[in-house]
Amino acid sequence: MLTRRLFVTAGACAFASSSLAQVVATLGSGDGTLTVLSDGSFELPLSMLARDVAPAELAAEAKQNGPMRSVLNVTCLRRGKDVILFDCGSGANFLAGSGKLGESLKAAGIEPDAVTHVLFTHLHPDHFWGALDEFDSPAFVNARWLAAAPEIAFWSDPKVYERLPGDRHAFAAGAQRIARELGERLERLEPGREWLAGIEAVATPGHTPGHVSFSVQAAEGPVMVLGDALTHPQVSFARPEWRPASDHDADLAVATRRRLLDRLSQDRAQVIGYHLPGAVGRVERQGAAYRFVAAS
């Protein structure tokens, strides 16, 4: 309940419960298929998009006035015997409207016991809290759990509370509790390396100190699983210099976004955004900035 209070404090409006479990998108077919599964959605105040921009300008750029509905997209790669999840949703204890991954896995015909790996972009609640089931046991009993060493170090440090605003303390308490329950099963890996064959963890810090995105050599060609390096389909691309309230180190997140957008627009790689509607698309340069071109 702490976390729900947090979002009410942050100005979030209603918690709609209409989000349906679903398969959001599929890339490729056969071995190496990427499936994007919904963990639901929640509403955030528009002001979350930038900490120092006038509301009218914000609304114009975001192309909406009221609170925004942020979708949650969990990516699943199936290749050979591997069933690899990138993040695992928010579980039952975060916000109403989220925690739908279990139903979406069922809709996609994926048994929880079949999941072999869970790779984390970062340890925020909407990405990490789904690691435990309602009995506080690992939700995927046969999985290896892989996260970036600096990300685990940040959240596990008893002094993390001094580095976070009060309304984020519940994030730290949740991350510590889940890391404790996973124990030795939570493996610490370095960013900038291949964590599994054909899957490189690209350092994209700023949103959180140890945030990574995953460059995946999929059957369809290279795909970048972004995590929260780019979170809004207009603002993150057209205004990479804006400083969302959700970024821990706002200036570092801006630098990361610029570097990532430059790389992605040159590579023409497909991207999958955890919070981007429809999840899948490409990045195109547009004047001095960029735009997200959704796949469908």
In the complex, the residues that contact Zn ion under the rule CB under 5 A are 126, 228
Long-range contacts of 283-286, Cβ-Cβ distance < 8 Å, separation of 24 or more:
283/237, 286/237, 286/238
CA distance 272 to 44: 21
3 state SS of 204: coil
Between 35 and 246, CB nearer to Zn ion: 246
| Shortest distance in whole angstroms from residue 124 CB to Zn ion | 5
Nearest by Cα to 219 from 82, 23, 29, 24: 29
| Shortest distance in whole angstroms from residue 219 CB to Zn ion | 27
CA distance 278 to 22: 11
| Shortest distance in whole angstroms from residue 211 CB to Zn ion | 10
Between 228 and 247, CB nearer to Zn ion: 228
Sheet with 199-203, edge to edge strand ranges: 194-196, 199-203, 212-218, 221-227, 270-273, 280-286, 289-294
| Shortest distance in whole angstroms from residue 30 CB to Zn ion | 30
Between 200 and 228, CB nearer to Zn ion: 228
| Shortest distance in whole angstroms from residue 275 CB to Zn ion | 6
Between 83 and 276, CB nearer to Zn ion: 276
CA angle 30/277/195 to nearest 5° reads: 50
Between 95 and 186, CB nearer to Zn ion: 95
Cα radius of gyration (the chain): 18
